[in-house]
Chains A and B, each alone.
Chain A
Amino acid sequence: MSDVLLRVTNLVKNFDVRRTKNSGAKKRTVQAVTNVSFSIERGQTLGLVGESGSGKTTLGRCVLRLIEPTSGQVEFDGRDLGLMKFEELRWLRRKMQIVFQDPFASLDPKMTVGASIAEPLIVQGVPGSHSDKIIELLELVGLSADHASRFPHEFSGGQRQRIGIARALALNPALIILDEPVSALDVSIQAGILNLFEDLQMKLGISYLFIAHDLSVVRHVADRIAVMYLGKIVEIGDQETVFENPTHPYTKALLSAVPLTDPKAERARTRVILEGEVPSPINPPSGCRFRTRCWKAQDICSQEEPMLTIRPSGQLSACHFPES
């Protein structure tokens, strides 16, 4: 089965920054997302990884048009979101939902759990009383029917995240954007939520765009991986290919920065420790944006921007001197 549910083409998002004093009236632009293209098939998970400021959250929001992209195309189920009128877009959002990172901020403290879960149904004008649906959803995410009348403060972080997932599932979406859905949770709780995503995907055939900075989590859940650096995808391909044979130096460095939980393996391996930090997206480096931290950089890297190119092991990466 290889039908594409979501196709993003040359997506760009720039934010204007105005500085009032000192810097004069010069308008500056943060290039948060630059020419990003990818697709997600039905029932698949694309993991989007990158450090803070790489643009992964902005990208996720542009896909839903929660923020308007500057340019580029987002097609969902063959239809171009950019051409849609607001009403049409709102209707289509039934099929695309989002779960946020912080389960403490994403639920209204004054609404019962049942009311929170029913809200998307009401907003979308789904008729009838929703009590059966609420119970069904609560049970689907591993909670129980009597939780519906309680308030968010009575729940732990992991349980709140389950409530957020139940709310996202209320309208039977085909795609859920998961923006760092487990990074606020302790590991023992995180594992249960990751299993839940897996079960829901199997049962309901949902696609996920899974945004996270934790590579071991992404590796666990994703079929395909896209690695972002300063607003661009530097490498994209099958999960195993990218993790086993990274071809972009940044992917290699990122993988090497993540500590393994096996002390013997961890100490035996050779690590690439990157120098410096991610440069500002206001004035990104010319050519390859990673060149200022790259140990392989040469003159060409500052002059010519590398394009995503297919590599022998099957993934795409954007580098003049790819690892083999």
Chain B
Amino acid sequence: MADKILQIRNLQVTFDTPFGQVFAVRGVDLDVEAGELLGVVGESGSGKSVTFLAAMGLLSSRARVSGSVVLAGEELIGKSSRQLRSVRGRIMSMIFQDPLSALNPVHRVGKQIGEMLQAHQNLTNKQAAARAVELLDIVGIPQPDQRSSQYPHEFSGGMRQRVVIAIAIANNPKLLIADEPTTALDVTVQAQILEVIKRVQQQFGTAVVLITHDLGVIARVADRVDVMYAGRNVEQGSIESLYDHPSHPYTRGLLASIPQPGKGRLTPIRGFPPNMMDPPSGCAFRTRCDFADSTCEIEIPELRTFSDLQTACLRAQLLPSFRMKQ
């Protein structure tokens, strides 16, 4: 077993709202191994972003977070914001869907990269500027010298996302969390950005968590996958196993919903995701599951080893075998 760079145990996140409590994350267990690319997949509201925002300590004070997040041997939950600031950008970084709102419109991009460098390293302005140009080159921006002194509005969407990646990897972090980094981009540009992320992982040994709703994106770049539903992980495993013989009814449902060449009629998952103010008792997926019985209402399923996957389903061993319709 490789080293674990991130270990999340029983993470719970609750938001207080005027309408009541929202149970966004309800006991997530998750490991990220050093240097791997972990894909986290789930639909809107599944808690995938909130899990990692909580791990980064980026949630507002309205959120109540409990459980354990250990980053490179250090417990993060309970740390002061000052302590967290020294971790963020140095040991782990995060990039988001919209690169324009992640950049400051009135500063040159070279300066913004330099700022990140100088926050954690003792560099002169000149050294930081030189390193910024190097970083722009690493993320594949042509003519990095000149581009470094331009402003964000002079960059296209794909180029902006590259700048954001350059900032995130400036201090050579051990973990890069990418939250829907290509969702706002066109497919041809998405392909370019995924290449950049994969290259960062391979060239610098950075572990990457790629959060997305797109199973195709995960199939392209991830080593392992974690599937989330209603604030919990429902299945984890290697990419080959998970796509070949998913055990959890939700994972199966997701795969059966995707249009594929030669596949006939689609099989949608019936119903819709639960209201997270009042999630169903027991297994949250049972209300949409074809295999649920009365036991599913009582017990919350934990992740258990099932063939070569970790699956949180009480009835996993009773399910018929599953093959993707080709």
Contact = CB atoms under 8 A, between A and B. Distances in A.
B151 interface: no
Interface string B84-114: 0000000000000000000000000000000
Given A273-B191, A274-B188, A187 B265 contact: no
Interface string A269-286: 001011101100000000
Interface in B299-326: 324
B188 A257 contact: yes
Main secondary structure of the interface of A (DSSP, over half): helix
A189 B158 contact: no
Contact of B188 (A51, A158, A217): A51
A191 B191 contact: no
Given A194-B266, A274-B191, A216 B260 contact: yes
A262 B266 CA distance: 16
Nearest to B43: A186
Nearest to A192: B268
Contacts of A277: 156-159, 186, 188-189
B243 interface: yes
Contacts of A257: 187-188, 190-191
A119 interface: no
B217 interface: yes
A262 B192 contact: no
A169 to B, nearest CB: 20
A258 B269 CA distance: 23
Interface string A81-119: 000000000000000000000000000000000000000
Interface string B252-269: 011111111101011111
B257 A188 contact: yes
A266 B260 CA distance: 13
B258 A216 contact: yes
B191 A271 contact: yes
A278 B213 contact: no
Contact of B213 (A186, A243, A254): A186
SS class, residues of chain B in contact with chain A? helix
B220 A213 contact: no
Interface string A194-231: 11001000000000000001011101110000000000
Interface in B136-194: 156-159, 186-192, 194
A263 B243 contact: yes
B216 interface: yes
A313 interface: no
Contact of B187 (A192, A215, A220, A261): A215
Contacts of B220: 259-260, 263, 266-267
A189 to B, nearest CB: 7
Interface residues of B, number: 44
A190 B255 contact: no
Contacts of B324: 262
Contact of B272 (A156, A215, A243, A264): A156
Contact of A213 (B187, B192, B243, B253): B187
Nearest to A264: B240
Contacts of B44: 186
Nearest to B217: A259
Nearest to A255: B187
B215 interface: yes
Interface string A179-193: 000000011111110
B188 A195 contact: no
B239 A187 contact: no
A229 B214 CA distance: 24
A208 to B, nearest CB: 15
B134 interface: no
B191 A260 contact: no
A74 to B, nearest CB: 27
Nearest to A217: B259
A170 to B, nearest CB: 24
Contacts of B213: 186-187
Given A186-B213, A266-B219, A191 B266 contact: yes
A261 B255 contact: yes
Contacts of B239: 263
Q: Which 10 A-B pairs have the closest CB atoms?
A: A259-B216, A220-B259, A191-B268, A192-B268, A191-B257, A188-B269, A191-B266, A186-B43, A51-B186, A259-B220
16 contacts: A159-B272, A186-B273, A187-B258, A192-B266, A243-B261, A254-B187, A254-B188, A257-B191, A259-B220, A261-B243, A262-B243, A263-B240, A274-B191, A275-B192, A277-B157, A278-B186
